Structure 1
Amino acid sequence: MTLRTIALAGGLAGAAGLSQFPEFSQQYTQRLGGAVDELQRVVTRFDADAAATGLDRAGALTDLSTGGAFGAQRAATMRETVARYERLSADLAALERAGPFTRARLAGHLRDPEIAARAWEAYRPAVPATFEGAVFGGTGFVLGWLAAGALLRLLRRMTGLGRKRSERVI
């Protein structure tokens, strides 16, 4: 009886947790879109400034890095900004093409710690009222039930609890 109760609690915890994935991934994607838009503005302005002086991006970065310590630091920062823009743009493109179930397979694209932290700060759990929320909730319930049951069975084997006295190893 206790095993079933704990397994049920594990199932409910899994359902509650996993049912939140579709909404969290949507909020992450929205924040990711905002970050990509802002980074695109920065990169576009840099490219326009470079073009105005007759340089491409690579040439402008090289020119900037030869302008002393500040210029070298600014060039390194701009390289990081461009790389982040390209990485986040690729993540956004993958997530925007994906539906809620495919997004679970693409969870690796929810990898920017800054954006994830900001999405988590603003996120408020809610009862899933969508089909995908119900599917994720059901899947979480089954996984939580199985995990709690497996853990309890393992603990029983290791400790010998639940065995009759005649079955216990001395």
Structure 2
Amino acid sequence: MARVLMLIVLLMGGTATSQLPEFSQQYRQRLGGAIDALEEILADFNRDAAQHGMSSAEAIARQKASEDPFIRARGDSMLNAEIRLSRLKQQQSEYESAGPFERLMIFARGFDSQLAQATAEDYEPAVPVTVAGFASAGIGALAGLIVMRVLVGIARLGRRRQRQNG
């Protein structure tokens, strides 16, 4: 029974982690779309600021200094959009120069939570036919094996103590 359970855990762990490269790929595709959208929003904002003789930073500072709470909130939103765009562009640059395994590490190290959530909502699993997919499956299976070995060891230890006491 323990061997069957172990096999199930190995398969589940391997299957789950084999999806990491595909999830990362779908995240990268959304990353480009998010960058495009933020660039468009900020270009419009910068154009409006320039028409009124201000830089982007001056326009944001003016909004944040406003007594109108809505205008202040818009200033915060624009500043956050600039910061997020910079962060996403940096991540995209890292992805472009990385290999398949390194991309997984880049994602794990600093994904954008909004983007990851949107990716998860629309995620479509794929059969892993890449080296990274197979390696991820192997890592997941190995992790499952280790967890099962530890749990089986704990269960055996508990049974031994019961026999000694009973």
TM-score by length of 1: 0.84
In the alignment, residue 84 of structure 1 is paired with which amino acid?
R
3-state DSSP of counterpart to 1:42: helix
**Alignment match, 2:109:** 108
SS for the counterpart of 1:168 is: helix
Q: Note if 1:22 corresponds to 2:18.
A: no
- State the aligned residue count: 164
The percent identity for this pair of structures is 35
> 1:57 matched to which residue of 2?
56
Deviations 1:51-108 (Å, cap 9, x if unpaired)?
2332222111122334440322221221122222222222222223222201222212
8 A Cα contact 1:11 1:146, kept in partner: no
Taking the aligned partners of 1:57 and 1:33, their CA distance within structure 2 comes to: 23
- Counterpart for residue 124 of structure 2: 124
Distance in 1 separating the partners of 2:95 and 2:74:
31
Rate the CA distance shift 1:115–1:164 in 2: closer, same or farther, 3 A: closer
Structure 2: which 5+ residue stretches go unaligned?
none
Corresponding residue for 1:169? 165
> Aligned in 2, Cα 1:49/1:144: closer, same or farther, shift over 3 Å?
same
Query: Which residue of structure 1 lines up, in the alignment, with residue 141 of structure 2?
Result: 141
The 10-residue stretch of structure 1 (92-101 or 31-40) with the greater mean CA deviation from structure 2: 92-101
Q: Any conservation in 2 of the 1:9–1:145 contact (CA below 8 Å)?
A: no
Q: What SS is found at the alignment partner of 1:148?
A: helix
Alignment TM-score, normalising by the size of structure 2: 0.86
**CA pair 168-127 structure 1, distance change in 2 beyond 3 A:** farther
Query: How far 1:30 sits from its partner (Å)?
Result: 0.7
SS in 1 for 2:165: coil
CA distance in structure 2 between the partners assigned to 1:119 and 1:134 by the alignment? 22
Point out the structure with the larger helix share. Answer: 2
Tell me, in whole angstroms, the C-alpha distance in 2 between the residues paired with 1:65 and 1:134.
Answer: 50
Contiguous gaps of at least 5 residues in structure 1: none
In the alignment, residue 82 of structure 2 is paired with which amino acid? V
